[in-house]
Structure formats: C-alpha cells, structure tokens
Structure 1
Amino acid sequence: MELLTDDQKNEFQTCFQQFDKDNDGRLNPKESVMALKSLGVNLPESEVSAGTDFNSFLQVVVRKLQITDPADELKRAFNCFDQEGTGFISAQYLKQILVSLGDILTSQEADELIRDCDTDHDGFINSDEATKLILSKLT
C-alpha cells in the first residue's frame, strides 16, 4: 500500500478499528460494509469476505476509491495538454494556458514557473520535468 500516505493509513486504520466491535483484528461482512460505507464505498455484503483483516480492507479501499500514485496522476493531467502525444509541450503554450486561466498567474509568475520547470532549458516542458517540480513543491 505504498500509494497511501501515513495520514491516509492512519485514517483507514481508525475507521477499521471503530467497526471492529470485538477487537479481533477482523471485520465480519456487516462490519466491512459499514466501514466501507463510512468511507464512501458502497458494496453489498455478498461482495465482502468474512474475516476481513486490515490489509484486505485497505486493498478494497484503494481499489474502490482509486487511490493512485500522485506522479501518475500528474503525468495523466500533463498528457491532457500534450495534444500531439509527443511527451512534451512548448513553454510558450504552457504560458498561454497558465495566463488564460484567469487571475491564477500573472505573465511574470508564469515565466518563473516555466523557468523552474524547463530544467534543460530547451523551450519545452516534458511530463517528467513538470511532475518532479510539482511534487517538490508539495512536499
């Protein structure tokens, strides 16, 4: 479950423990359904196995909530702007997008972001450069 942050794991662990009424480290089907429902996952009892342990519970949560690697999500988002499927977009096109979004970035702020993103200074931003920069800003 390397896709989950420690906070997410703790949140799901707390949820699991709240529904584990007999504290045996396992949820019966009814407890599993209720725990999953509290997280926004709706499954019928027939799709939940008896004696679900925490790891099995996490697997269902990750699969049903489609929790994915942030880098993969960022690359997919980047690809939405890569209209030609080349794996990169021009710095000029990125600036046009950033400035046209409204009051989010000024032209100067967009230039600074692009300078940070275009690490090889070729005038193009590839998904790896963009992803690395965004992830570095989030941590």
Structure 2
Amino acid sequence: MASTAHPSFPQRPYSSTLHGKLPDRPANAFGGSSHPAGRDAARADRERAQRENKEPEVLPITDDQKEEINEAFSLFDLDKDHRIDYHEFKVALKALGFDLPKSEILSLLTQHGVPPLPSTTTPPPAALPSQAATRQQIALANANNPNSNEPVPPGRLTLTLPSFQAIAAKLISERDPRDEIMRAFALFDVDEKGMIVLDDLRRVARELGEGLEDEELVAMIEEFDLEGKGGVGREEFLGICMS
C-alpha cells in the first residue's frame, strides 16, 4: 500500500414465447407433431419463454464494473437493436478481458439467448426495451416466421442487456483478483517491458488529467522499486495492490 508521504499510483477510471398455442401442423405417416424433432422444438420454445419471463440474476459487482459492462454492451451493439449477436457478444467479452472459446460462447448463448428480432423491426430510438416489450417483439418475430416452431441454432441467438449483465457479472466475480491486477499493470506497461517506469506514469497521469509533478512520480517509483532497477515490476505492483 502506498505510504501517506507520497500520492498513490493513478488508477484507471476504470424465446421464443408464443402467447398462444403453436400453429397446428398436419399429421403425417410418422406421427406429425409427436416426432422427436417437434418435441425438441417445443421444449426449446418453453425454455426460452421461461428465460424471457424471468429477470436474470446479476451477482454483486462494483459500480465501476457495472458501468464497464454496460459500456461494452453499448459499444458492440453495432446495429443498435439493443441485442448483441454471436460476434458482438464475443468481442464485448474480450473487451472485458474474457477471451472465451467458440464452444463456450455458443454454450452461453444456448443458456441465455433469445431468437433474433425480424429484420423489419425498427429498434426504439431511446431507452432499452423492457422485458415485456422484448417478449412482445419475440412473439411477433415468431408469429411472422413460418419455421418458428423449429429451434434457432445457437449461433443465431442474441442476448439482451440484462442477460449480458448477468453473464459478465458472473465471469467477473469468478475472476482471480491477480488477473485483474495484471490487466491494470498492462495499462501502464503498454510496451511490455515488464515494469512500470517514469514515462509510463507520466502518460497515465496525463491521460487521467492528474496534475502530478515529475518529483512526485519519481517518489512513487522509488518507494516501491525494492530492487533499485528504476521501475516497478509485476510482483512489486501485485504486492502494492494486494496489500
């Protein structure tokens, strides 16, 4: 922990749901709607309807982390339809520090995703849609889709903001604090020298609008540079943040 004699390091401001029965399908020689594929589709519809009707649980995180999650969703909702698809979801998580494999992304979409909105739907101009409005949009999308009784492939499912918040909050809460600290270290050590030197502190102080003199920045480094190498290494930085 930084001593009271010197200022501390600058910190980074850091489904389908149908409100009625499924359309009748003609019976065929193999049993019509009793076919396993039909049962799977109906089950998938019920599960997505339950997800739409239930507000996802968001684990406790800091206000800064909540803001970071919301910013990531807004930034990568490229078509501004208040949904993110597979590709937008992947890069939004990567921006938060989570580079998940394709299989895990698809698994999360299968658990939390909802069918995409129809291409003719115009997103609301201002506030994000409520859960009720979202359910209505999904019901309309399925009503206009003759194949709505078939499950949507995971890669075509989308996420609403509440679902993205729940997923990101869970990932953040499960992250090793050391990983978060090393992410912060990388924001200082942008050229990957392995330590934070005076030029790094100058740059970060300037970006954060901190009016710190060189004497103050040098004092910070000298206080925590236990080996006298002219900078603060990873382990020293970790010790500062964990103490």
Structure with greater strand share of residues? 1
Identify which of structures 1 and 2 has the higher relative contact order when contacts are C-alpha pairs closer than 8 Å and 6+ apart. 2
Bigger helix fraction: 1
TM-score, normalisation: structure 1: 0.46
Which has the greater radius of gyration? Answer: 2
